Amino acid sequence: MALFLPSSRLLLRKTTDVKFLTPRRNRVKEKWAATRVKHPPTRLALQHFDATYGTQLGDLWPSVRVALLTEKKYGALLNNFSFDVDVGITDLQAQRCRDFISDIHGGAEPWEIGGKNQTSGADGNDQQLSPPTLSPNIKCYVFPRGDVTRFKPARPDSHGLLGYYLMDAASVLPCLALNVQEGHTVLDLCAAPGGKTLALLQTQLVRFLCVNDASISRTSRLRKVLHSYVPKQFLTDERVRITSFDGTTWGEIEKNTFDRVLVDVPCTTDRHSLMEDDNNIFSKSRTGERRRLPQLQAELLLAGIQAACPGGEIVYSTCSLSLNQNLSVVEQAVYLAQENFGIQLQVVNLRALTKMFSDTFCFAPDLHLGEMVVPHLAANFGPIYFCKLRRLA
């Protein structure tokens, strides 16, 4: 009697999906949640910003929203310590880049938001403010308005120092607002990853710079950045001190010490929160950390105020549009400084500074405290908020 044997090809085809050969009680459920997040942090961030900034910014929010969801523009902070600095300048200029700090009003008209020209403030008295004196050594090159060309990676010179540092060009503004003078001692309280620290060193005016970050891993990254741009002889303990302390306790460590203090606090980093799921503060596991941010920011600013000497100046900054992390924090810190420590502070008007750079950046209108760069498709820098305080003697 002949037996019917199926071909091996047919047998293999039928047994490809072994799941059906496994008893139901022994089957393993596919763990889709481990690979596909149901509510990714970027989506949660966008929902939060729509609800918050939609009310805060009103008609301005749709254009800011589009810009935040688009690739940001960079600036190239020139490294004066590089031995090929002149070659770097020539190369950047050949790409039609301009130094927005020295080339004020480089052929573009100031922005208008909501029908208001940015060269005049809400109080109408800004025309009387004298323009600030800026260090001629800080140079940051940007592509023209509307040009989304990417910078080439910086090349090292014969000593291994890179020619420029790529960063959000608006991040240089808090350093310019700090107005460092010859022989000043400066504290950068939350320094990592190091862009603003490099900008302060480029002034070549700082007698002593203390750079701190509470995170040991971020401090390690900061050290690597500095060693990639600054010669070793400028990084001695007599000139630059790198620490990793809790910044909120700085008032207990060194109070009444520094001529200038930069407090660039941890924040929701709005652009990163919308673009990257990794290390996103809108992750559900970091909800508590995000809600505690304003309290942490106020404690850091208060510590920075205590660290400044009488007559010294403090600049507070974030990369967020949030009123709770910006104006509210400044107001709280100013109140606590007076109430708990008897420290009186004066808010410094920065409108003359923003007027100088209104052709490069888009500034939010009518802020009663501080200044803020808002993203715009044609000039996709920011967001950056900064406010300057002067400690009265």
Binding positions? 190-196, 213, 246, 264
Half-sphere exposure of 376 (CA within 13 A, CB side): 20
Residues belonging to the binding site for S-adenosyl-L-methionine are 190-196, 213, 246, 264
State how far the alpha carbon of 127 is from the alpha carbons of 42, 121, 369, 387, in Å.
42, 9, 18, 20
Active-site position among 97, 210, 319, 387: 319
Helix (H) or strand (E) holding 187: strand 184-188
- Three-state DSSP class for residue 131: coil
- DSSP code at position 121: -
**What residues have CB less than 8 Å from 170, skipping those under 6 apart?**
361, 373, 381, 382, 383, 384
Q: Which two tokens stand for residue 322?
A: 């949030």
| Cβ atoms of residues 222 and 194 within 8 Å | yes
Contact of 379 with 73, CB cutoff 8 Å: yes
d(C-alpha 365, C-alpha 113), whole Å? 7
Tokens (6 digits) for 227: 């060693």
Encoded tokens for 42: 């970027």
Q: 């763990």: which residue's tokens? A: 31
Token pair recorded at residue 85: 């600095």
Strand partners for 371? 386
* Nearest C-alpha neighbor of 247 from the set 201, 204, 306: 306
- Residue where the block lists tokens 């090349």: 155
3-state helix, strand, coil in the chain (%, to 5): 40, 20, 45
* Catalytic residue status for 319: yes
Q: CB atoms < 10 A from the CB of 152, how many?
A: 12
Q: Which helix (H) or strand (E) holds 212?
A: strand 206-212
Token readout for 309 is: 């000497």
User: Which are the catalytic amino acids?
Assistant: 319
